[in-house]
């Protein structure tokens, strides 16, 4: 046991003697959480919409008043008056405005005559986020305009009452789980995979074998040290990210225990996966070259950025065997929903089984390289 702990102590001392390495292993997830959390998932504001009014009647004035209400309140878009429909379309195409609304001639007359009045909306659908927000807001305005001034005695329309189980989830909160998992992955990759290959290239592992340390003790020591680094990184980002995102779940002891189990299982899974991939690698440049590829292959299909159900079938198959997916799902279940142990039981089973399985596969391969 003393020999095993000596390896763990040596790896941890080496890790803590490199403060830049520690900072960089946590900096990317924090920066990603801040930038992406504010850049995505927010409400579109300040879009410029051209309005071409060919009618000028009272119903057209009512439509323009609705536009002014949008600009004064939620400010999704503000309108710019155009006289020329052709110029409005050209400005949408060139990006000077984000959309154009066309109120056709005889619009008011057709409203009074109930003769299928129409309002045209021209959008630049090369930007799906912007066009989708404008279309959604316009549809809401049209629905409001369609409401009768005097309600019928018999209700003909069915209303949908939406009940949200949780308070509004900002995108920063949604992204936090992925940032925690990413921080642990970076810690394992930099503090485990890269240092492991560097030590192996310098002959440090062979030097251990001239001591009473056995190969099994060496394997276990390296992996336990790697898991400790990942756990420390996961706990740090969970606390920092939760405070930044305004999540108070970390102040509940039961949730803290579940989070620790998830972080422990994730660290074991990531460390076992990295050890299995690097066990037969000798070139120190290989893990550096693999870093970006693995990050893209494992992080983005995990559901950290968007739901897995939106992926094509082949990408869903990757998510099914990706430990990132189970880590992100479990962290969301606790951080966003406070779901308890039942909600993460399946995730924990996969993470621990994956971690133990990869270590059992990697251990005999490691022994053959010495």
User: Can you spell out the DSSP letters for 238-262?
Assistant: HHHHHHHHT--GGG-HHHHHHHHHH
Please indicate, yes or no, if residue 288 is contained in any of the structural domains.
Answer: yes
Task: Identify the weakest region by mean pLDDT among 37-51, 52-66, 125-139, 261-275.
Answer: 37-51
Distance of CA 178 to the CA centre of its chain: 5
**Rounded to an integer, what distance in angstroms lies between the CA atom of residue 212 and that of residue 228?**
24
Top pLDDT among 152 and 274 is at 274
> Are 114 and 228 contained in the same domain?
no
Top pLDDT among 54 and 170 is at 54
> Are 25 and 107 contained in the same domain?
no
Q: Which domain covers residue 94, as residue numbers? A: 47-146
> Are 132 and 260 contained in the same domain?
no
> Are 133 and 192 contained in the same domain?
no
Please indicate, yes or no, if residue 115 is contained in any of the structural domains.
Answer: yes
Residue 327's pLDDT is: 94
% of the chain surpassing 90 pLDDT? 13
Residue 77's pLDDT is: 82
Residue 220's pLDDT is: 77
The number of folded domains in the chain is 2
Residue 348's pLDDT is: 94
**Rounded to an integer, what distance in angstroms lies between the CA atom of residue 104 and that of residue 304?**
45
> Are 26 and 55 contained in the same domain?
no
Please indicate, yes or no, if residue 258 is contained in any of the structural domains.
Answer: yes
pLDDT of residue 367 exceeding 70, the answer is no
pTM to 2 decimal places: 0.74
Model confidence pLDDT, tens digit, residues 349-361: 999 999 999 888 8
> Are 85 and 228 contained in the same domain?
no
3-class SS of residue 353: helix
Distance of CA 323 to the CA centre of its chain: 15
Question: What is the band of 144 on the pLDDT scale with cuts at 50, 70, 90?
Answer: confident
Please indicate, yes or no, if residue 335 is contained in any of the structural domains.
Answer: yes
Model confidence pLDDT, tens digit, residues 81-100: 998 888 988 888 888 888 88
> Highest mean pLDDT: which of 26-35, 109-118, 128-137, 203-212?
109-118
> Are 195 and 320 contained in the same domain?
yes
Mean pLDDT of all residues in 265-284: 83
Residue 357's pLDDT is: 92
Mean pLDDT of all residues in 213-219: 71
Domain closes at, from 146, 162, 182: 146
Please indicate, yes or no, if residue 161 is contained in any of the structural domains.
Answer: no
Q: What is the DSSP letter of 103?
A: E
Work out the number of other CB atoms within 10 angstroms of the CB of residue 69.
12
> Are 127 and 62 contained in the same domain?
yes
Helix (H), strand (E) at residue 174? helix 171-188
**Rounded to an integer, what distance in angstroms lies between the CA atom of residue 50 and that of residue 83?**
10
Please indicate, yes or no, if residue 330 is contained in any of the structural domains.
Answer: yes
Model confidence pLDDT, tens digit, residues 302-354: 888 878 877 888 888 888 999 999 999 999 989 988 888 998 999 999 999 99
Residue 156's pLDDT is: 55
Please indicate, yes or no, if residue 194 is contained in any of the structural domains.
Answer: yes
Mean residue pLDDT of the chain comes to 80
**Rounded to an integer, what distance in angstroms lies between the CA atom of residue 252 and that of residue 249?**
6
Please indicate, yes or no, if residue 349 is contained in any of the structural domains.
Answer: yes
> Are 263 and 300 contained in the same domain?
yes
> Are 27 and 91 contained in the same domain?
no
**Rounded to an integer, what distance in angstroms lies between the CA atom of residue 142 and that of residue 119?**
9
Q: For residue 199, what are the CA distances in angstroms to 21, 191, 193, 345?
A: 16, 12, 10, 37
> Are 7 and 89 contained in the same domain?
no
**Rounded to an integer, what distance in angstroms lies between the CA atom of residue 104 and that of residue 101?**
10
Task: Identify the weakest region by mean pLDDT among 11-15, 115-119, 192-196.
Answer: 192-196
Domain closes at, from 103, 130, 146: 146
Could you tell me if 59 and 104 are in contact, meaning their C-beta atoms sit under 8 angstroms apart?
no
Could you tell me if 258 and 334 are in contact, meaning their C-beta atoms sit under 8 angstroms apart?
yes
Question: What is the band of 119 on the pLDDT scale with cuts at 50, 70, 90?
Answer: confident
Question: What is the band of 160 on the pLDDT scale with cuts at 50, 70, 90?
Answer: low
What CATH number did the domain enclosing 75 receive?
3.40.1710.10
> Are 276 and 308 contained in the same domain?
yes
Residue 269's pLDDT is: 92
Tokens representing 36 are 């992406």
Model confidence pLDDT, tens digit, residues 3-17: 667 777 777 776 767
Tokens representing 147 are 């409401």
Question: What is the band of 44 on the pLDDT scale with cuts at 50, 70, 90?
Answer: confident
Could you tell me if 147 and 12 are in contact, meaning their C-beta atoms sit under 8 angstroms apart?
no
Could you tell me if 193 and 274 are in contact, meaning their C-beta atoms sit under 8 angstroms apart?
yes
% of the chain surpassing 70 pLDDT? 78
């Amino acid at each position: 046991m003393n020999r095993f702990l000596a390896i763990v102590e040596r790896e941890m001392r080496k890790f803590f003697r490199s403060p830049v390495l520690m900072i960089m292993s946590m900096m990317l997830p924090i920066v990603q959480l801040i930038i992406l959390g504010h850049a995505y998932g927010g409400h579109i504001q300040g879009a410029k919409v051209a309005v071409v009014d060919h009618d000028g009647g009272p119903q057209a004035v009512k439509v323009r008043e609705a536009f002014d209400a949008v600009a004064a309140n939620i400010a999704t878009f503000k309108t710019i008056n155009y006289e020329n429909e052709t110029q409005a379309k050209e400005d949408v195409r060139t990006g000077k405005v984000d959309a154009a609304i066309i109120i056709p001639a005889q619009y008011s007359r057709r409203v009074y005559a109930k003769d299928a009045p129409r309002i045209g909306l021209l959008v630049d659908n090369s930007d799906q986020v912007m066009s989708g927000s404008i279309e959604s807001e316009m549809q809401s305005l049209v629905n409001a305009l369609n409401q009768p001034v005097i309600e019928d005695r018999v209700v003909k329309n069915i209303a949908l009452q939406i009940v949200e189980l949780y308070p509004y989830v900002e995108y920063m909160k949604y992204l936090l789980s992925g940032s925690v998992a990413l921080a642990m992955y970076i810690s394992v990759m930099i503090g485990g995979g890269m240092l492991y290959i560097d030590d192996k290239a310098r002959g440090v592992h062979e030097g251990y074998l001239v001591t009473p340390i056995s190969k099994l003790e060496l394997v276990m020591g390296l992996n336990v040290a790697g898991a400790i680094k990942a756990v420390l990184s996961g706990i740090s980002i969970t606390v920092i990210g939760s405070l930044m995102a305004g999540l108070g779940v970390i102040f509940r002891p039961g949730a803290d225990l579940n989070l620790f189990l998830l972080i422990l299982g994730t660290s074991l899974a990531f460390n076992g996966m990295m050890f299995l991939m690097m066990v037969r690698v000798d070139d120190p440049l290989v893990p550096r070259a693999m870093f970006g590829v693995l990050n893209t292959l494992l992080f983005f299909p995990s559901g950290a950025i968007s739901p897995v159900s939106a992926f094509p079938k082949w990408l869903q198959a990757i998510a099914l065997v990706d430990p990132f997916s189970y880590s992100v799902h479990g962290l969301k279940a606790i951080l966003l929903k406070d779901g308890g142990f039942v909600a993460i039981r399946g995730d924990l089973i996969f993470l621990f089984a994956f971690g133990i399985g990869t270590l059992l596969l990697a251990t005999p391969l490691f022994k053959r390289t010495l």
